[in-house]
Amino acid sequence: MAWKSYLNLSRECNSLSYDAMTAHTAVVFTRYMMLSLESRESNDNRSLGELFLYFSDKMSDITWIQAFQMLLQMFRTMLSDNTELSDEKINELTNAFMDALPAMMKIRLQAA
């Protein structure tokens, strides 16, 4: 019963039944979520209807192989720019890393 007074639900629901209070709390939370959503959509400029979906649809998806290749290239660039390692040593490290990958991953990377 403490949560009923803590959430200020005593004015709308006078029942002492646990099921009635649980249902009433669910209705109150649902009402709060609906009002919050309406408030955000009408007052917050960041949520302009379909704007997010429009831009996310325009971005092309990349495969995990492409993402992995991009990360590997960024890592090579970072090593080259921030260390005194020669290109040969970076290639040697990259090849050692590729050799340590599981066989299935190596096959897919080589095919791409």
Q: Please write the tens of the pLDDT for every residue from 1-16.
A: 455 555 565 667 777 7
pLDDT of residue 27: 83
- Given this model, what pLDDT does residue 51 score? 63
- 62-95 burial code (b ≥16 CB/10 A, e <16): eeeeeebeeeeeeeeeeeeeeeeeeeeebeeeee
Residues 87 and 107 occupy one common structural domain: yes
Domain check: are 89 and 107 in the same one? yes
Q: How many domains does the chain have?
A: 2
Q: Are residues 13 and 43 in the same domain?
A: yes
Amino acid at 74: M
**Domain interval for residue 107:** 64-111
Give the model confidence (pLDDT) of 24-75 as tens digits: 888 888 888 888 777 777 776 665 556 666 666 555 667 778 888 888 889 8
More confident residue, 77 or 40: 77
